[in-house]
Amino acid sequence: MKTKDKIVLTSLELFNERGERNVSTNHIAAHMGMSPGNLYYHFRNKSDIIYEIFKNYELMVDSYLHVPSDRAIHIHDLIAYLDAVFNGLWAYRFIHRDLEHLLSSDERLRQDYRHFTLRCLEGIQRIILAMEGSGIYRPMEEQQRRSKALNTWLIVTNWMTYLKSIHASENPEEALSRKSIQHGVYLVLDYVIPYLYEDKRALALELQEKYRFDGIAPKPEMSEAS
């Protein structure tokens, strides 16, 4: 593998593990057993590394959100989308951790990210529309489809950040078990299900159940009412 690609991979790994803010270019170089000078031979600056990582991320997510063209869309497709997206988010989790800072320090990235988001939202809307077409979703107004795409996006992109934020320990490996991440699928399905046709709901609920993971949200004691 080329050194340049190795730098990208190592950076991604360190950014994910420790947060972009806590990883300096010197760290990256040291972790690879090479000199900072060498790193700066391959990349003009830290932003360029981040930008390249983002481009990979973008490519990956873009490859997910396609409506099948050769057949009708099915509930299982919805689950497959969610599964794929959560895996993708996990692999690039540092991006959504300090997104605002990344965007504010790189104008290119800001523009690209903006278009990326809008593209994803359109993709989600097309998926919803396709599901209406194949008799899964009840038909809805465009405005509603837009809200649904947006809410889904908000839930999906922030689920892992939420998980890390409520965990008692700082250790992310501990906080983000595979099971707890998958509960994100459960949550999105909870949002989706009321809009399904009655005859699809049982199946959806059954599929949803596989993604359920307790021990995240609180078990509320209704005592403290006020």
Residue with tokens 């939202």: 121
Residue 32 or 99 having the CB closest to a copy of itself: 99
Q: Are residues 54 and 60 in contact, defined by beta-carbon separation less than 8 angstroms?
A: no
27 touches DNA (CB under 7 A): yes
Site string for a copy of itself, 90-129 (x = CB under 8 A): -------xxxxx-xx-----xx-xx--xx--xx--xx--x
CA-CA distance, 27 to 66, in Å (whole number)?
Answer: 38
Q: Are residues 189 and 178 in contact, defined by beta-carbon separation less than 8 angstroms?
A: no
47 touches DNA (CB under 7 A): yes
CA-CA distance, 182 to 20, in Å (whole number)?
Answer: 24
Q: Which does 25 bind (CB under 5 to 8 A by kind): DNA, a copy of itself, none?
A: DNA
Residue with tokens 């972790």: 31
CA-CA distance, 181 to 223, in Å (whole number)?
Answer: 30
Q: Look at residues 78, 72, 66 and name the one whose alpha carbon lies nearest to residue 208.
A: 78
177 SS3 class: coil
Burial of 219 (0-12, 13-18, 19+ CB in 10 A): exposed
46 contact partners, CB below 8 Å, separation of at least 6: 24, 25
**H-helix or E-strand containing 86?**
helix 75-91
Stretch that binds DNA, among 26-34, 77-85, 112-120, 142-150 (CB under 7 A): 26-34
Q: Which does 60 bind (CB under 5 to 8 A by kind): a copy of itself, DNA, none?
A: none
Stretch that binds a copy of itself, among 4-12, 45-53, 74-82, 140-148 (CB under 8 A): 140-148
Q: Which does 140 bind (CB under 5 to 8 A by kind): DNA, a copy of itself, none?
A: none
Site string for a copy of itself, 14-33 (x = CB under 8 A): -----x-xx-----------
Residue 7 or 86 having the CB closest to a copy of itself: 86
Q: Which does 2 bind (CB under 5 to 8 A by kind): DNA, a copy of itself, none?
A: DNA
Would you give the distance in Å from CA 29 to the centre of its chain? 28
Binding site residues, DNA, CB under 7 A: 2-3, 22-27, 33-38, 40-42, 44-47
Binding site residues, a copy of itself, CB under 8 A: 19, 21-22, 66-67, 69, 97-101, 103-104, 110-111, 113-114, 117-118, 121-122, 125-126, 129, 142-144, 146-151, 153-155, 157-159, 161-162, 164-168, 170, 186-187, 190-191, 194-195, 212, 216-218, 220-222, 224-226
